Amino acid sequence: MEEMGQPKFRAIQLAQWLYGHHASSYDDMTNLPKSLREELAASHPLSALSLIDKQVSQDGTRKYVFSCEDGHRVETVAMPATSAQKDGERLTVCFSTQVGCAMGCAFCATGHEGFARNLSVGEMVDQILSAQEDMGQRVSNVVAMGQGEPFLNYDAVLAALRIVNHPKLLKIGARRITVSTCGILPGIELLSQEPEQFTLAVSLHAARQPIRDILMPHMENQPLSKLKKELQNYIRKTDRRVTLEYLLIDGINDGEEDLAALTSFCAGLLAHVNLLPLNAVASSYFQPSSPQTMHFWQSELERRHIETTVRKSRGSDIAGACGQLKNMLSSNKLDNEDH
Ligand code: SAH
Ligand code: SF4
């Protein structure tokens, strides 16, 4: 607006149309002068995501595949509260930050797909607004935990989170906004310097270096010892707890030694461990650990005073894991009648 010689208040008016009302045309923005609307339409044409596919799980989770203007596809997941949670107000949207991902994690369908490009701020917010409209309910929580590595698209992700958090736009409290990273050290440091109280989650998945190197091969040069130091720095600066995500994979990272390594990684860290069941990805060798193993880990960690949650997989009947649905669509493995 400044560049166009407009007063400052026009910027928030425009943002409210785009991100508050999810307007798809400048013509709708009736409190902007007609000449400005015409100028904007010519200089900054609006583009929107289009819905390609939607799957509805038995637990109420909905998974969307959207097409970007250039034909690339992204996934978004909306998770309402389960009946056990008894929190009808809760609606969590998990959005993607990149098309594909360069990190190549061995267990991840997105990792197998490789990296195509970063998503723009608008493409990220559009996923959240489109899911909100489809669910007919206000989004209460947002997680940057879909496809892609948020800290490899840092500036755009932060700008999107600020729109989500803004008191005149999506109005979602910073503590209800989570960013999940595979452990990109410069990103953790940058986040520690931001004024907002966003929640940080780190995909740990192994606390033994050789196992982590197998599961997350591109993280080799950002080892666990440095990760721990960076997390200690983050906690010291922000006084906030960090979530450690740990996918339990049968026979790979779920043994006694792995548990001992996780316990020692958590020592001196203000951390909360989230134990997650692996969603088996087609043609992958990895299988989830048994529920008994998960509960054994939970009780052992809690016995050592490490706060631990066992998370249920949501939407596993609709190709819940990151990247799965899109890959199934592109290989035509989904039956259209199920949609
Ligand atoms: N790149 C970021 C955020 C996107 S991945 C990160 O890695 O944290 C989001 C989460 O999905 C991560 O915790 C990731 O480890 C997990 N994930 C990937 N593949 C999975 C699978 N097959 N089953 C269950 N979770 C998976
Ligand atoms: Fe990328 Fe996260 Fe998947 Fe790893 S788990 S490949 S970092 S999206």
> What DSSP assignment string belongs to 155-198?
HHHHHHHHHHH-TTTT---GGGEEEEES--HHHHHHHHTSSS--
Measure Cα distances from 293 to 34, 166, 305 in Å: 64, 42, 18
Q: Is 89 annotated in the active site?
A: no
Residue from 141, 154, 159 nearest 181 by CA: 154
Residue from 218, 312, 66 nearest 203 by CA: 218
Is the distance from the beta carbon of residue 182 to the nearest atom of ligand 1 less than 6 Å? yes
Question: Beta partners for 310?
Answer: 275
Burial (CB count <10 Å: 0-12, 13-18, 19+), residue 164: buried
Residue from 165, 224, 236, 228 nearest 198 by CA: 165
Which residue's alpha carbon is at the smallest distance from atom 1 of ligand 1?
A: 149
Tally of residues, the chain = 339
Nearest ligand, measured from the Cα of 278: 1
Please tell me the predicted confidence (pLDDT) of residue 337: 25
Are residues 81 and 119 in contact, defined by beta-carbon separation less than 8 angstroms? no
DSSP 97-114: SEEE-SS--TT-HHHHH-
Nearby residues of 255 by Cβ (< 8 Å), 6 or more positions away: none
- Give the Å distance between the CA of 276 and the centre of ligand 1: 10
Is the distance from the beta carbon of residue 18 to the nearest atom of ligand 1 less than 6 Å? no
Alpha carbon distance 268, 11 (integer Å): 45
- Give the Å distance between the CA of 182 and the centre of ligand 2: 7
**What residue ranges line ligand 2, CB within 6 angstroms?**
101, 103-105, 108, 110-111, 147-149, 182, 203, 322
In which residue are the tokens 């969590």 written?
92
Are residues 308 and 275 in contact, defined by beta-carbon separation less than 8 angstroms? yes
Is the distance from the beta carbon of residue 157 to the nearest atom of ligand 1 less than 6 Å? no
Which DSSP letter does residue 249 get?
B
Which residue's alpha carbon is at the smallest distance from atom 21 of ligand 1?
A: 279
Is the distance from the beta carbon of residue 181 to the nearest atom of ligand 1 less than 6 Å? yes
Whole-structure pTM value: 0.93
For the packed helices 121-135 and 154-165, what is the interaxial angle rounded to 10 degrees? 40
- Give the Å distance between the CA of 187 and the centre of ligand 1: 17
Nearest ligand, measured from the Cα of 204: 1
Ligand 1 atom index nearest CA of 284 = 22
Alpha carbon distance 23, 16 (integer Å): 9
Nearest ligand, measured from the Cα of 248: 1
Q: What is the pLDDT along the chain (339 residues), one digit of tens a residue?
A: 999 999 999 999 999 999 999 999 999 999 999 999 999 999 999 989 999 999 999 889 999 999 999 999 999 999 998 767 767 789 999 999 999 999 999 999 898 889 999 999 999 999 999 999 999 999 999 999 999 999 999 999 999 999 999 999 999 999 999 999 999 999 999 999 999 999 999 999 999 999 999 999 999 999 999 999 999 999 999 999 999 999 999 999 999 999 999 999 999 999 999 999 898 877 678 999 999 999 999 999 999 999 999 987 776 666 655 555 555 544 433 322 222
Q: Is 75 annotated in the active site?
A: yes
CA atoms within 13 A on the CB side of 286: 20
From 75, 123, 149, 245, the catalytic residue: 75
Please tell me the predicted confidence (pLDDT) of residue 88: 72
SS3 144: strand
Nearest ligand, measured from the Cα of 150: 1
Ligand 2 atom index nearest CA of 104 = 6
Please tell me the predicted confidence (pLDDT) of residue 59: 86
Distance between terminal CA atoms of the chain?
42
Alpha carbon distance 191, 238 (integer Å): 9
Please tell me the predicted confidence (pLDDT) of residue 334: 32
Ligand 2 atom index nearest CA of 109 = 3
Ligand 1 atom index nearest CA of 245 = 13
Q: CB neighbours (10 Å) of residue 27?
A: 12
Is the distance from the beta carbon of residue 249 to the nearest atom of ligand 1 less than 6 Å? no
Please tell me the predicted confidence (pLDDT) of residue 147: 95
Residue 31 Ramachandran class (φ > 0 left, ψ -120 to 50 alpha, else beta): alpha
